[in-house]
Amino acid sequence: MKTPKKKKTFSRLSLARLSFDHGDVSASALAHTPEAIARAATEEHGGAGSQYIGDMVLGGLDGIMTSFAVVSGVAGANLGLNVVMIMGLANLLADGFSMALGSFLSLRSEREYYEKEKSREAWEVEHFPDGEKRELVEIYRKQGYSDEEARQLTGIRTRDPKRWVDAMMVDELRLLPDERTPLRSGLATYSAFVLAGAIPLLVYLVGLVVPIPPATAFFVSLGMSGAALFILGSAKVIVTHGNPLRNGLEMLAVGGLAAAVAFIVGVVLKRIIG
């Protein structure tokens, strides 16, 4: 007895995106049925760590590119296995920490700025409600609403103080809250940077135990790095919602260019310095 195949299902948002990419009006209609919209309102939410996927993908891409650039530079200068390991690991850990710290400080600054502006708007709503209402009316007029529509929208938005402040943050200041926490964002970036950045060095780690000719090690590292760049570049569509093949090839080209530059620099410096 054959086991029935499980039917693949998509979230409403995923179905809407696929429909748009393929110009499929009938499929898009399925994503806009009352049932699909109602179900999405309660089910279509990211997991606890889904908001950090972007940090992990971009951190991983940077890790591979910078690590393989070091490998290429050392290989171009023909400096040997020990130098590859020393420079590669030092770069991997130091650059990963620097990138993670930058992500942490940047996100913390953004959150502090957002909270400060939100506190200011709440204070103004409390002390100058008439002026804040006039601001919203003018904002909606500039967005193309008629005077009557602008006043109606303002009346709806200002019934509840919390929704009122949120409206001022979005419509006046163009600010949206970021659900990520600075520490977790930094850790996600660092973990992905180190794990992905270690890929170009794996063959050299093996070379510490089993002798591997330098040229062979470099080409193995090149192949592994290229495959990892393509895979992570394709995974970037989780964040950008672009074309997986195109994104993968773009990252492969960018990583290859960076490696070529590093290799040439290593060759030139080797000839100059000796």
Query: What DSSP string describes 133-196?
Result: HHHHHHHHHHTT--HHHHHHHHHHHTSSHHHHHHHIIIIIT--------HHHHHHHHHHHHHHH
Number of domains the chain is built from = 2
| Residue 212: C-alpha distances to residues 130, 206, 221 (Å) | 76, 8, 12
Instruction: Look up residue 75 and give its two tokens.
Output: 């290989």
The mean per-residue pLDDT over the stretch 227-246 comes to 78
Residues 72 and 199 in one domain: yes
Q: If you ran DSSP here, which 8-state letter would residue 52 be given?
A: G
CA angle 218, 220, 225 (to 5 degrees): 95
68 in any annotated domain = yes
pLDDT digits (tens, 9 = 90+) for 58-97: 888 888 888 888 888 888 877 777 888 888 889 899 999 9
pLDDT digits (tens, 9 = 90+) for 250-264: 888 888 888 888 888
Residues 188 and 268 in one domain: yes
Residues 135 and 262 in one domain: no
pLDDT of residue 86: 87
Phi, psi of 244 (to 5 degrees): -60, -45
Residues 97 and 148 in one domain: no
Instruction: Look up residue 206 and give its two tokens.
Output: 């093996």
Residues 256 and 195 in one domain: yes
* pLDDT: which is higher, 25 or 6: 25
Residues 188 and 223 in one domain: yes
Residues 102 and 185 in one domain: yes
Residues 240 and 139 in one domain: no
Residues 263 and 188 in one domain: yes
Alpha-carbon distance of 209 to 260, in angstroms, equals 28
Q: Reply yes or no on whether the pLDDT at 7 is more than 50.
A: no
Beta carbons of 169 and 118 less than 8 angstroms apart = yes
- Average pLDDT over the chain, rounded to whole? 82
Largest CA distance in the chain: 80
pLDDT band at 21 (very low <50, low <70, confident <90, very high): low
* Residues spanned by the domain of 65: 51-108+181-273
Least Cα distance to 56 among 232, 182, 208 occurs for 232
CA angle 193, 199, 200 (to 5 degrees): 110
Beta carbons of 221 and 201 less than 8 angstroms apart = yes
Among 20-29, 71-80, 141-150, which stretch is predicted with the lowest mean pLDDT? 20-29
Alpha-carbon distance of 114 to 175, in angstroms, equals 7
Residues 162 and 219 in one domain: no
Judged by DSSP in three states, 217 sits in: helix
261 in any annotated domain = yes
Residues 191 and 156 in one domain: no
Among 48-52, 66-70, 72-76, 112-116, which stretch is predicted with the lowest mean pLDDT? 48-52
Q: If you ran DSSP here, which 8-state letter would residue 209 be given?
A: T
64 in any annotated domain = yes
pTM for this entry: 0.74
pLDDT of residue 207: 83
pLDDT band at 266 (very low <50, low <70, confident <90, very high): confident
Question: What string of DSSP letters covers 96-126?
Answer: HHHHHHHHHHHHHHHHHHHHHHHHHHHHHHH
Alpha-carbon distance of 244 to 260, in angstroms, equals 24
Q: Reply yes or no on whether the pLDDT at 5 is more than 60.
A: no
Of 172, 190, 212, at which residue does a domain stop? 172
Residues 142 and 266 in one domain: no
Of 172, 189, 208, at which residue does a domain stop? 172
* pLDDT: which is higher, 20 or 74: 74
Q: Reply yes or no on whether the pLDDT at 98 is more than 80.
A: yes
**C-alpha R_g of the chain:** 26
Alpha-carbon distance of 218 to 7, in angstroms, equals 45
Of 150, 172, 194, at which residue does a domain stop? 172
CA torsion, ordered 68, 69, 71, 77, to nearest 10 deg: 160
